Amino acid sequence: MTNHPEPGPGIRSPLHDAHVAAGASFTDFAGWQMPVRYSSELDEHRAVRTAAGLFDLSHMAEILVAGPEAGAALDFALSGHISTLDIGQARYTLLLTPEGGVIDDVIVYRTHENRFGVVANAGNRFEAAGALSVRAVGFDTTVVDESEALALIAVQGPRAEEILLSLDGLDVPVPVGSLRNYRCVTGVWRGNEIMIARTGYTGEDGFELYIRVAFAQELWESLLEVGAPHGLIPAGLACRDTLRLEAGMPLYGHELGLDIRPQQVGLGRTVRLEGKGDFVGRQASEVPLPEGARLLVGLASEGRRAGRAGYAVFDSPEGGEPVGEVTSGALSPTLGHPIAMAFVDRALSEPGTPLYIDVRGTRIAASVTSLPFYKRSTPQRKVAP
């Protein structure tokens, strides 16, 4: 019998009892006690790649920005051009420091003409809400942290659409199946307001559902019930991390941080220097990267030993000084070999460049590869960034 340790102290999700009943193992994540796995993280990972996984993401921060000048306030606060979003459109963007570093990466949803939802990382909830509030001063808008009022549940995988279409009691103004990537719709489920977005953090098709905490457990259980015939299983944070790594998606605190510029991680496109006015971090973003700034690359290697965050990268099998550092790494469940993301010297960032990861005193040969490591085979529905 598998031993599932009792959750420790920390903030508990509104779905906590459901996780305990399902036999989840817990981990501390940004002060929350969240399910890290239910049975096998490999089984959960593979379910998302082949069928569907159900994730509790209620630790994420949800911040409401509303008012006649909400769009203009977000244009000033964030790196993207938010006021140009259509109602029902979402955008991945960055909250920058005046020096051009990253406070957080967020997704902004325009749900109404003068109403936007900003979803930030759990560990940056107060930093993001505080920065948005300060940057909204002088604009006719309000900023409200709604994190404690909302639950976030994600259905991710190639059968996610089938599962949502099977959910009884869902009433939305447009068919769920017609939603393109980075689009959202607000409707009701069993009489309760719900927002459904075709977004995710796994590299697969999927949806993220926002609902008031009082109705979260009922929604969770209903999704598991209708999803079971489609292969849906609950999935924890461990497999979410390997899924996003395979998809080449950055994680704050690993590939993103206050001392990291967006251009270093391939996110220069999220900083709109043309077509919009001033924003926090603009002046710094107009300056080219310093000569010694390292760039984020993918690293692929053979065998079973994977580089982990903090491991040094070298350009020779022995001797010499480090030329980079791993930010995230794992043995890829989908690809069957070790993968990692790392910051390396710019001269060594071209695909095919041979490098070596120091794995506990042994240098493992690796090759620079383009990100992402994995792309799903089904056509992706795209909208302009």
CATH number for position 368: 2.40.30.110
- Shared domain check, 139 and 77: yes
Structural domain contains residue 288: no
CATH of the domain at 114: 3.30.70.1400
| Residue 139 counted as domain residue | yes
Q: In which region does residue 199 sit, left (phi positive, over 0), alpha (psi from -120 to 50) or beta (all else)?
A: beta
- The answer to whether residues 90 and 124 belong to one domain is yes
Is the same domain home to 301 and 332? yes
Collect all residues with Cβ–Cβ distance below 8 Å to 106 and sequence separation of at least 6: 78, 92, 93, 94, 95, 118, 119, 120, 121, 128
Structural domain for 68, as ranges: 61-145
187 and 153 housed in the same domain: yes
pLDDT in tens, 14-32: 999 999 999 999 999 999 9
- State which of 96, 128, 145 marks the end of a domain: 145
**Do residue 46 and residue 65 come from a single domain?**
no
Q: Which two tokens stand for residue 118?
A: 């900003």
Asked whether residue 221 falls in the same domain as residue 360, the answer is: no
Tell whether 260 is covered by a domain. Answer: no
Kindly state whether residues 54 and 65 are assigned to the same domain.
no
Distance between CA atoms of 327 and 308, rounded to whole angstroms?
A: 7
Beta bridge partners of 35: 26
Q: Are residues 367 and 309 in the same domain?
A: yes
Count structural domains, the chain. Answer: 3
- Do 44 and 154 reside in the same domain of the chain? yes
Is 380 part of any domain? no
Reported pTM: 0.93
Give the domain-ending residue among 145, 168, 190: 145
Residue-level length of the chain: 385
What is the residue-level pLDDT of the chain in tens, covering all 385 positions?
334 445 556 899 999 999 999 999 999 999 999 999 999 999 999 999 999 999 999 999 999 999 999 999 999 999 999 999 999 999 999 999 999 999 999 999 999 999 999 999 999 999 999 999 999 999 999 999 999 999 999 999 999 999 999 999 999 999 999 999 999 999 999 999 999 999 999 999 999 999 999 999 999 999 999 999 999 999 999 999 999 999 999 999 999 999 999 999 999 999 999 999 999 999 999 999 999 999 999 999 999 999 999 999 999 999 999 999 999 999 999 999 999 999 999 999 999 999 999 999 999 999 999 999 999 864 333 322 2
Question: What tens digit of pLDDT does each residue of 89-128 get?
Answer: 999 999 999 999 999 999 999 999 999 999 999 999 999 9
